[in-house]
Every structure is written in C-alpha cells, then in structure tokens.
Structure 1
C-alpha cells in the first residue's frame, strides 16, 4: 500500500532530521566553545547529513505523489492534503508525522540561525588568532 510506503519514508526522514538537529547542536557547541580546530570536522559531518536529508526529500516527493494519486489527489499534493484525504488510521499517523516534522524543522531553523550568528561573531576572533600566529 502506498500510504504504508509514505509512512515508512516519513519515519526515515524524521530520523534524518533528528540527526541533522543533533549535528547542528554539535556545530553550535563547537562554535560556542571557541575550539575552531574542530569546526572543519563538525562542518563535514553536517554537510553529509544535509546531503542525506536532501536525498530523502526527493524520495518523499515520489512517495507522496504515489499516495496522492492513490487518494485521488493531484501529484504534488502537500502532506496536509494527503493527511486530510487519507482514511483512518493513516490520517492519524500522517498527522503525527506532519506535527513531528514541523517541530523538527522549527528547531533546525532556530539552530541554523544561531550557528550563523555564532559564525559571524567568531570570524573576527579567528582573524585575530591568525594575525597573532604570524
């Protein structure tokens, strides 16, 4: 069943977004600690996780289109539209996924903004360290 496949895909995407949130938290801790030598490694791990999230997002789009078609909706229907059209118990499961994904994305945006601010704040300090090393 296509709704089952979509639900499995959403679980996988949630796990990846949880990993992305964790990687952003690690990145934030590295920046806040001033241990800039660890920044490159934290950045590489963050980049790999972002790549996995983007790949999963493509898979979700395919599975969402299949579920939408199965429910008589047009391809490209949103998760909210699919949830509204899905019969129980799928509607409840998809609603739970939608809620969890929304919370994860909110956390990720907040962490990304915080990391951006920390990067901007640490740039002058990193330049001063390079100057002192000369």
Structure 2
C-alpha cells in the first residue's frame, strides 16, 4: 500500500544510495589527488567544494539508512541499535540475509578505498602546505616585489582542503557495517 514502510526493500534501496555516495566520495578524493599530483593547487577550492557537497549528501543518506534499518529491525525483532551483520543474521528465509551481507562486503571495501584516498590526500596536502611555506619564506626574503597575497590564498586553500579531507572518514558507516574504520 502507498505510504507504508518498504521494509527490507526500502533498506536495500537506501543502502544502494549510500553506496553511490561513498563511490562518489572516493572519486572526488581521487580527483583531488590527481590535481595535487600535477601541482594544480589552484583547483583546491573546487575539489574541496565537491567533497563538501558529497559529504552533505552522504550525511542525509546515512540518516535515511538509520531510519530504514530501525524499521526493519522492529519488523524482524532485532533489539537495540541494529548494525548490518545483526540485521543480516535476523533476516527471514530467502535472499535478504545474503543481499545485506553483499552490501556490507561492498561498502566495507569502499571504506577501505576511501581511507587510502584520505591518507594519500593528507600527505599530498601537507606537502603542498610545506611548499607554500617555502614560497612565503622566499617572498619575505626577496628584494623583488612579490604577490604575497596569492601565496597566502594558496596556503588558505590548501589548509581548508586538508580540513575537508580530515572530515571524509565515515565512522558511522563503519559502525553500521559492524567494522571499525
């Protein structure tokens, strides 16, 4: 009937949307890393904004997944805050247990890729910040007029990008998957 909870169907659909956002987060992290690898730090404002947009959508999908999981847990008699392994174990006969475990496996793999991309971005951004610090030292000691403001803007963009990358971890997703990030 219209308006009734979708149960396991709704949970699975929500998990697919959440997986899509995790894939997009990984893509955005890898894209930023490619720009950093070529020294094109002028694009950090855009790559950071892209990451922030994905993180916002991912927060919404995580909330929606929690609502769906709670409804399925109530339907299947799973007490407390359900995680994906507990839901899969409580699934009725049929495909649901296997499907939920497939979601868990694929999402766990995505989280591993995301964590690797976070670490690589962190290192590349720290290197970029070190380069900017050297540029600031050169500007300060140079007798030639230099554009100190542009160097400071690069420093601010790299620092902001690093702060965004530091927020890309997904501990709530990892917790739901029954894993630690």
CA RMSD of aligned residues (A): 1.3
Would you say 1:122 and 2:120 are equivalent positions? no
Give deviations 1:69-91, integer Å, cap 9, x for gaps. 11101241111100111122111
Structure 1 regions of 5+ residues with no counterpart?
A: none
Q: Which residue of 1 is the match for residue 56 of structure 2?
A: 51
Task: Identify the match of residue 30 of structure 1 among 24, 32, 35.
Answer: 35
Q: Distance in 2 between matches of 1:28 and 1:11?
A: 26
Larger radius of gyration: 2
Output the CA distance in 2 between the equivalents of 1:53 and 1:83. Answer: 22
What corresponds to 2:95 in structure 1? Answer: 89
Give 1:8's aligned residue.
13
Size of the alignment, in residue pairs?
134
Q: Which residue matches 2:26?
A: 21
Bigger RCO of structures 1 and 2 (CA < 8 A, at least 6 apart): 1
Deviation of residue 127 (structure 1)?
A: 2.9
TM-score (norm 1): 0.94
* C-alpha displacement of 1:128: 3.2
With normalisation by structure 2, the TM-score equals 0.70
**Structure 2 residue runs without a partner (length 5+):** 1-5, 140-145, 148-181
| SS in structure 2 at match of 1:73 | coil
